Structures are given as C-alpha cells and as structure tokens.
A and B are shown apart, each in its own frame.
Chain A
C-alpha cells in the first residue's frame, strides 16, 4: 500500500498533534501516524502545565481534561524542612493545572483531525529513505506493510527519537541528559493542600527530584526522576522506597504505574534537515530544570507545522528553508532553557546538607511572586555557590 501526503507526522502526542494541526490549518495535506492503539495512554508524565502556556497556545481549558487547579508549591528538603509558596502569600503567575493526559492528548488529536489531519492508529514507522525530492517512510499497521511518500516528515516520536536519526540528525540522548522516571498514580494520598504541587529534593532522587502532583482530594501522581548514571538503583526502586517513607504517601495505594525517559539536555543544536524536522521530546524541547515539556513541545509543533506548510507552498523543502524552524524555536522556546540547564547542574551539585540550609533560608525569605526565575533569584541570595554558578544568569 502506498500513501502520498505533503506532511507526515510520526507520533500523536501533544507536539505531534500541534505540528499536524498547524500544518493543516496553513494549507498542507497532513497524515499523522501513531504506533499505539490509544492516543495519550499510557502517560509518561506528571501531567502539569502552566495556565500561561495554554493561553499562549490558544488552548481553551476544559473540565474534560483538567483534574485539578494548582495554587501553591511545597518544596521539601532532605531533612523534611518544607517551604510553602501559596497564593495567599505570593503572586503566582506561573501556576497551572494537572491534566488527565489520556483525555488531553486525544483532545489535541481531535483538534488536529478537525483541521483536516488524517490519523492512522497502530501504525509503527520502521525506517525512512530519501528519494529525489521526497522521503519514503516504511511503516506497518496490524501486519500490513505501508509506504508513505511525504514531502516533509515531522518526527514527534518522543524520547526514542529514531525518526530524526534516520534522517541524519543527531537525536540520540546522552545518558547524563536522560532522566529516568517512574510514577504511581495513587489514592489515599494525605496532602496538606490538595491544590499544591510538592517537590522533594536530595538523595531520594539522584540528579532529579520526587514529586506529588494532586489530581483530586486524595489522588495524586507520585513520581520521581533520576539520572541513571548517578545511581545504582532503578527509578522504580527509588520510587518504591520514596513512597514507603514519605509521610504524604506512606498510606496511599497505587492504581497505575508509569515509566519513561525525559530528555533534559535542552533543545538539540540541529532539529531540521532536508525534508525533515523533529519536535517535542524528540527535539529536546523539555525544560531542563523542571522536566516539563507539554507546552514547549506544542509551541515547537506549532512552529514546525507553520514552517512545513509555508515551505511546501513555496516548493522549497531544503534544509536551508527549514532552518527557519530551528531559529524560531531557539528564539521562542530555547533561550530560557540555557539558564535552566545551568540551574539543573547547580542543583545536582548540592549535598543534602546544603539543600537543608537553603530550605531554612527560603523559609526566612518573603517572596513577592513565584516562578522558576524568582525561586532561583532567592537561591542566589542565600547560597554562595548559587551566586557563583547562577548569579549572572537571572
């Protein structure tokens, strides 16, 4: 079976759906393929997004896919010192929602379909070859071999990022830049504030942190991410230990287990080549400090879709033409990521004792507003090492 299309998007996560939708809205003929039988499941994500991010993307919040609204943050140091940042005490411009990804992702794919995108489920891309001015993607759907002839391929295949490599991009993730994550969705979680995100730092999660993201009065995503080169234990083993000992979760029951990698090395240097672009996790569009990538992936997808449609109209799908995509991503998403990379490396360098003393100092500080930038500004004030490593950045 041979299918011809202007744009082929491989992977129907939020970044892929965003790319597909915007390519279609701008006049391209678009096919999106997804290897799974259900878009959005299983999730590989803590499901947090910022309100501002959704507004910027023009996505109207819906009760169908929002499970809770967040009005505060609790930061917990290794000795249990906690720092509360809530709407009552500070302005919270970067607050947001915890999603139900399996509903949200499908909703985004439906938006793409309404814009004219064709979607094929259970379709796994197996390889790619160049032929003249187009690409041929070999795929399989439930035993059927398919060839898809596309003028532009957009790889939205997540942290696996094989599509980019087939096209000659260096999208393999170095182990030190891949956070290995494990998460339970739990019931019976005893949160002091079921509208606050909780973060736990230190040895509980080497190279990363643990989180409790509420999805209801006693329901939460409880997870953690580690850098696998910094620990002998697996992410899952760290999670089991954390859940047993953390007062918030020790009486809770898991109803779902999620695992997956999160590429936190920042946006790749090169994300487009002749006839091909990569978006979302496949392009490293993940905040290196927080690990969040839904909004940035969708922003990247929007840019990729717009550039793909314009390039097809102009009948110029060369690397030179598609370079606009990388330039716009670096400008609109990537600039701040450089700062967060440095912040991540600083956090990784802190001992449990240093984290405890920083938590103590945070408790003695009055915040005016809470954002990642503001938190780091305070960090710089209380920690000499932070001043050295981060002072000039924020």
Chain B
C-alpha cells in the first residue's frame, strides 16, 4: 500500500477494513499487508484518496 503524503490519519480506512489490518497513529499509518486480500475498500473510502494499492 502506498500512502500519499496528504494522508490526514483520520482512520476511516481502518474502520472499513473488514480484516482489521490498519493501525492509525497520530501521524503514522501501518498496514498488515501479509493478511490483506486486496479488497480495496480502504482505497475507495479514503476521503482524500491518499491510499494507492500497488
């Protein structure tokens, strides 16, 4: 997952991730990509399109 620098760490992606793989800190975001099934729900939900799935 590529996180663009304009991500604002709002956490909406974490809320819709069906597998609970996204951890959002105050100014950082981490994905457990090993368990990701490429559903891209997080990409679609992002209010500023800051996530890009490779």
Question: Would A172 and B26 be within 8 Å (CB), given that A162-B20, A180-B47, A234-B48 are in contact?
Answer: no
| Residues of B close to A259: CB separation below 8 A | 8, 10, 12, 47-48
| Residues of A close to B23: CB separation below 8 A | 124, 126, 162
Task: Tell me whether A349 is interfacial, beta carbon within 8 Å.
Answer: no
Question: Would A234 and B49 be within 8 Å (CB), given that A42-B8, A122-B26, A172-B20 are in contact?
Answer: yes
| Residues of B close to A175: CB separation below 8 A | 16, 41, 44-45
On whether the beta carbons of B14 and A260 are closer than 8 Å, the reply is: no
Task: Tell me whether A316 is interfacial, beta carbon within 8 Å.
Answer: no
Main secondary structure of the interface of B (DSSP, over half): loop
On whether the beta carbons of B17 and A180 are closer than 8 Å, the reply is: no
On whether the beta carbons of B8 and A160 are closer than 8 Å, the reply is: no
| Residues of A close to B8: CB separation below 8 A | 42, 257, 259
Task: Tell me whether A36 is interfacial, beta carbon within 8 Å.
Answer: yes
**A159 CA to B11 CA, complexed, in Å:** 7
**A260 CA to B11 CA, complexed, in Å:** 7
* B residues contacting the other copy or chain, number (CB 8 A): 22
Over the window 281-309 of chain A, the binary record of Cβ atoms lying under 8 Å from chain B Cβ atoms (1 yes, 0 no) is 00000000000000000000000000000
Contact pick for B16, options A124, A165, A261, CB 8 Å: A261
On whether the beta carbons of B47 and A178 are closer than 8 Å, the reply is: no
* A residues contacting the other copy or chain, number (CB 8 A): 34
**A368 CA to B15 CA, complexed, in Å:** 40
| Residues of A close to B45: CB separation below 8 A | 175, 178, 180, 228, 261
Over the window 1-21 of chain B, the binary record of Cβ atoms lying under 8 Å from chain A Cβ atoms (1 yes, 0 no) is 000000010111011111010
Contact pick for B10, options A44, A165, A172, A174, CB 8 Å: A44
Interface residues of B, Cβ cutoff 8 Å to A: 8, 10-12, 14-18, 20, 22-26, 41, 44-49
23 examples of A-B residue contacts, CB within 8 angstroms: A35-B26, A42-B8, A159-B14, A160-B15, A160-B24, A162-B23, A165-B20, A166-B20, A172-B15, A172-B17, A172-B20, A178-B16, A180-B46, A181-B47, A235-B47, A235-B48, A236-B47, A260-B11, A260-B47, A261-B15, A261-B16, A261-B45, A261-B47
Besides A158-B15, A160-B22, A162-B23, 7 new A-B residue pairs in contact (Cβ under 8 A), listed by A number:
A124-B25, A172-B17, A172-B20, A175-B41, A260-B10, A260-B12, A261-B45
